[in-house]
Amino acid sequence: MNNFRKTPLSEKSWPYHIFREYAKELQRLDMSFESISDYAKNKLNEEKLEKEKLEKEQMLENSKATYYLYTHNNEELTIEEFYKTFEIFKNWNKLNKIMALNCYFENYIKTLLDLAIKSNPEILKDNRDGIFIIKNRLSYNYTLNEYDKAINKCTKGNWKKRMNSIIEYFKIDDRKFINDWKNDDIIKLFENIRNIRNSVGHSFGRELSSMPNWANTKIDKLKLLSEKEYLEYQKIIKKFVLDLDKFVLNNHIGCFQELYYYHTIKDLDEIKKIKNKKLKAKALSYKLCNEKGRVISWNKCQDLIDYYDSI
Same domain, 269 and 178: no
Same domain, 35 and 164: yes
pLDDT of residue 57: 45
CA-wise closest residue to 68 among 95, 37, 44: 44
Same domain, 182 and 136: yes
pLDDT of residue 220: 74
Is the residue at 119 inside a domain? yes
Same domain, 228 and 267: no
Q: Indicate the number of domains in the chain.
A: 2
Same domain, 127 and 160: yes
Give me the domain span that covers residue 286.
256-311
pLDDT of residue 209: 63
Same domain, 219 and 275: no
Same domain, 149 and 183: yes
Per-residue model confidence as pLDDT tens for the chain (311 residues): 789 999 999 999 999 999 999 999 999 998 888 777 777 667 666 665 555 554 544 455 566 666 556 666 666 677 677 778 888 888 999 999 999 999 999 999 999 999 999 999 999 989 999 999 999 999 999 999 999 999 999 999 999 999 999 999 999 999 999 999 999 999 999 999 999 998 887 666 566 665 566 677 777 778 889 999 999 999 999 999 999 999 999 999 999 999 999 999 999 998 999 999 999 999 999 999 999 989 999 999 999 999 999 99
Is the residue at 195 inside a domain? yes
Is the residue at 132 inside a domain? yes
Is the residue at 1 inside a domain? no
Same domain, 100 and 181: yes
Is the residue at 2 inside a domain? no
pTM of the model: 0.86
Same domain, 159 and 282: no
Distance CA 236, CA 242 (A): 10
Same domain, 144 and 290: no
pLDDT of residue 54: 46
Domain boundary among 235, 254, 273: 254
Is the residue at 277 inside a domain? yes
Is the residue at 194 inside a domain? yes
Is the residue at 225 inside a domain? yes
Domain boundary among 210, 237, 254: 254
Domain boundary among 254, 283, 300: 254
pLDDT of residue 221: 79
Same domain, 269 and 122: no
Distance CA 265, CA 290 (A): 13
Same domain, 55 and 39: yes
